[in-house]
């Protein structure tokens, strides 16, 4: 009897101890509910489990987060019902809901903007998880789209946190949308007395052997793009299957073509300068 009285006293919402313990129990129940519902949705026989391979991963992750937020909102409401003090505050809060919504909107303007922008990104899908994008001059991969910001990984394996509102408004390059293929271009400079046909043949032979090129695409091409005062510019056009291969193809081709140029005697030029000393100039007449 004393034990039951002690337990009832612990969850009595009329005492401070009961208020705290009730809050902890409701919070624990909300966490367990989030875990169970996520498991039921993700399991092979669950609603999302059946279509996991067909559902976009960005929408999938965002839906799970929204579901968890709704569970915690319901938990807060249940807690307010159990606590008499909070229950008495509900009516005035609801009466002034309009004014509070305006004040809260101004106070959390950036947060609401990021949340709405995140929903728009998930719905219209200008970017999604796994996409290769160019943001602020940096090539990166989209790793996660949360309720407030987007996480992108750079080539240096660092993370950029981009607010969803900024991502929704700015202009960016998405290499993965529609067609992931990329046309890789690389310029080689040769001296003016070089046989252009020989240099073109060397570049094309190395490009054909490049392990990073798209073998299903058109064959590589080399065009003369410039004839400067000390060099001739040859530009290689090579299709690669995805953006990540473009960087590797550049590294591979620069090394292989340079070695072939050395073997075949093709000179890579450098600027020539003629220096004339003023004391060697002839004196003006008179």
pLDDT above 50 (res 59): yes
Q: What Rg, from alpha-carbon coordinates, does the chain have?
A: 33
Q: Does residue 175 surpass a pLDDT of 90?
A: no
The arithmetic mean of pLDDT across residues 245-257, rounded, is: 92
pLDDT value, residue 206: 93
Beta pairing, strands 221-227 & 138-145: unpaired
Residue 5: per-residue pLDDT: 46
Task: Give the other-Cβ count within 10 Å of 164's Cβ.
Answer: 23
Comparing 83-87, 134-138, 170-174, the range with the smallest average pLDDT is 83-87
DSSP letter at 280 equals G
d(CA 12, CA 5): 10
Judge contact between 49 and 120, C-beta under 8 A.
Answer: no
> What would the pLDDT profile of 181-236 be if each residue is shown by its tens digit?
889 999 998 988 888 999 999 999 999 999 999 988 888 999 999 888 778 999 99
Phi-psi region of 136 (alpha: psi -120 to 50; beta: other; left: phi over 0): left
How far is the C-alpha of 38 from the C-alpha of 203, rounded, in Å?
Answer: 54
- Joined together, the tokens standing for residue 137 give 């001059």
The DSSP symbol for 284 reads P
Sign, Cα dihedral of 138, 143, 145, 148: negative
Q: What is the reported pTM?
A: 0.58
Q: What is the pLDDT of residue 274?
A: 67
Q: What value does the mean pLDDT take over residues 25-54?
A: 71
Sketch out the chain's domains with CATH numbers: 2-95 (no CATH), 125-174 (2.30.30.60), 182-264 (3.30.70.100)
Q: Say what the pLDDT of residue 236 is.
A: 94
């Amino acid at each position: 009897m004393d034990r039951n009285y002690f337990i009832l006293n612990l969850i009595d919402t009329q005492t401070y101890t009961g208020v705290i313990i009730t809050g902890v129990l409701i919070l624990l129940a909300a966490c367990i509910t989030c875990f169970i519902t996520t498991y039921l949705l993700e399991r092979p026989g669950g609603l999302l489990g059946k279509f996991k391979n067909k559902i976009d991963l960005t929408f999938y992750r965002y839906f799970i987060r929204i579901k968890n937020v709704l569970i915690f909102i319901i938990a807060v409401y249940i807690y307010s019902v159990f606590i008499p003090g909070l229950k008495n505050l509900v009516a005035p809060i609801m009466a002034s809901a309009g004014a509070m919504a305006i004040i809260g909107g101004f106070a959390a303007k950036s947060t609401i903007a990021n949340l709405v922008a995140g929903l728009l990104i998930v719905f219209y899908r200008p970017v999604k998880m796994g996409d290769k994008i160019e943001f602020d001059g940096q090539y990166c991969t989209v790793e996660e789209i949360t309720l407030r910001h987007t996480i992108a990984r750079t080539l240096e394996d660092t993370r950029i946190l981009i607010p969803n509102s900024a991502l929704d408004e700015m202009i960016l390059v998405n290499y993965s949308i529609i067609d992931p293929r990329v046309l890789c271009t690389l310029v080689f400079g040769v001296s003016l007395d070089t046989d252009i046909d020989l240099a073109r043949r060397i570049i094309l032979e190395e490009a054909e052997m490049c392990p990073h090129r798209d073998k299903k695409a058109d064959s590589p091409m080399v065009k003369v793009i410039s004839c400067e005062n000390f060099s001739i510019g040859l530009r290689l056009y090579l299709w690669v299957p995805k953006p990540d291969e473009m960087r590797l193809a550049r590294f591979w081709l620069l090394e292989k073509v340079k070695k072939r140029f050395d073997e075949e005697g093709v000179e890579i030029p450098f600027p020539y300068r003629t220096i004339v000393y003023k004391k060697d100039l002839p004196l003006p007449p008179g």
